[in-house]
Amino acid sequence: MTVDSARPNRRTSYNKTYRRVLARCRINDIPTLSADRSQLQALLERTHDEVRDCNAPNNPQLTKLTACLQSLLFSPIRTLPLEILSEIFLFVADEPIHMGNRRIYTNTTNPVLKLTWVCSWWRTLALALPTLWSAMRLTFANFADNCTMPRARDFEKECILRSGTHVPLYLFIDIIYVPNRPFLHRADLDVLDVIIYQARRWKRLELELFLDRDQDVDQFRDRLWRTWHQDTRSSEFPLLEELHLQLRHSLDLPTQSPFSQIFLVCPRLHTLRISHLSTGDAIDLSHLVVLVVDHLRINGSISTLLEKSPHLQRLELHEYYEDGGLPSTSYKTSFYHTQLLTLSVPISGRDFPDGMWNNVFLPSLKHMKIRLSWRARNRLPGEARSSTVALKGMLLRSDCVLETVSVQGLWSSHSTVVSFLDGLPVTSETESRFVNGNPYRKYGNLSSLSS
């Protein structure tokens, strides 16, 4: 729309007010104060005048357009039952609500908000559907401008409250901290408290912490613990099915997961992806089907972890560390885990902890993957072989038949790879063994074996 070009200052002021009001309308922030409503009414009247003046030559076309829009009142979608229209809304709005770090953008493309822009009927229906507001992506950072943050955080709290009290929640949270600044703004902490208060409704939680100091980890963990227990007086997460906990830490690795005393009772938790886990942590693993660990601290046998996860079908380890501070565990008798189907482990810059695979039997194992991590590239061939020997001994002892066995990484020794793969029981000698994604060829140099 065009404003009188002879008055640029007035035009600039008008456009600025227009954008601000439009931003509020797009998040359904309807003014309630009489002064705000009067300003909005004046803006609407001026807009109508501008539209009338600009479109006077186009009245015939506008008449046809109006008739077309009126005919839409009788379109088939308006005859749909509310139950079906609600399902269509849920199908279309398949992305978490995400308003950015600090600002409410006028050009947001979130499907949930777009549904509220179409007409008052759709807005009323969308606002009344708790499931539409049950998935959110939140970013908390202590380095951004705080001017627009309180309003953005108020909107996020409103979204959480619109999800009702019983609908399961799907939350994706990033917390970013930079040194020499306050930990988080008050508005951030208020939103976190609202989220934590709804913890019994969490169904999927992805939490990624970019923190710089141990004190920051402790502060966040203590707030989570304190708010959760003060508000619920319980340690149970009854709906939680999928949990991702990632700690991006710039200093030494913590000796214990910062969440080891939080998720104590999770009767439905089937998938856990965690950056730091110790075999001594108290996290409830009893119903897990999938476990992915970036950094595992262990002292002794892996059976300690497997015993806590009797239903586990997939275990993926990226790094492991022997921790003498943990209670030493070793099975003198045989330990059988009959549910594990897929195992992925690294050959790292250190040997497996003493006794890690001793007396462990995995008779149902179908898929085996080992990776030579970057930490192990400078190890001597004999050192890498000692790790593969321990792992291969467990596989042979388990009497499992592998459908796929994969070796990945830049190995410095052809014989180490050959000695591991040869003799393993597989379903197909030609189609079950792979090196860096290619079928295994026993004879030839290392480059042909891995190429």
Q: What value, to the nearest 5°, has the Cα angle with vertex 279 and ends 275 and 280?
A: 110
Q: What pLDDT score was predicted for residue 326?
A: 58
**What six digits make up the tokens of 139?**
């970013």
Q: Label residue 28 by pLDDT band (50, 70, 90).
A: confident
Q: What pLDDT score was predicted for residue 192?
A: 81
Other C-beta atoms closer than 10 Å to the C-beta of 115 total: 20
Best-predicted range by mean pLDDT among 31-45, 276-290, 337-351? 276-290
Q: Label residue 156 by pLDDT band (50, 70, 90).
A: confident
Q: Average the pLDDT over 57-70 and give the result.
A: 76
Q: Average the pLDDT over 405-413 and give the result.
A: 77
Q: What pLDDT score was predicted for residue 79?
A: 76
The pLDDT mean for the chain works out to: 78
Q: What pLDDT score was predicted for residue 317?
A: 92
Q: What pLDDT score was predicted for residue 375?
A: 57
Q: Average the pLDDT over 283-304 and give the result.
A: 90
Best-predicted range by mean pLDDT among 21-30, 138-147, 168-177? 168-177
Summarize pLDDT for 331-342 with one digit per residue, the tens.
567 899 999 999
Q: What pLDDT score was predicted for residue 330?
A: 58
CA distance 229 to 203: 19
Q: Average the pLDDT over 123-127 and give the result.
A: 88
CA distance 136 to 138: 6
Residue 277 has pLDDT above 80, yes or no: yes
Q: What pLDDT score was predicted for residue 157?
A: 82
More confident residue, 373 or 192: 192
Q: What pLDDT score was predicted for residue 421?
A: 87
Half-sphere exposure of 342 (CA within 13 A, CB side): 11
Q: What percent of the chain has pLDDT over 70?
A: 73
More confident residue, 123 or 273: 273
| 30-44, 207-221, 304-318, range with the lowest pLDDT | 207-221
What lies within 8 Å, CB to CB, of 358 at 6+ separation is: 301, 330, 331
Q: Average the pLDDT over 397-417 and give the result.
A: 83
Q: Average the pLDDT over 190-207 and give the result.
A: 87
Q: What percent of the chain has pLDDT over 90?
A: 20
Q: Label residue 1 by pLDDT band (50, 70, 90).
A: very low
Residue 376 has pLDDT above 60, yes or no: no
Helix boundaries (H) for 29-185: 34-55, 59-71, 82-92, 111-115, 120-127, 149-162
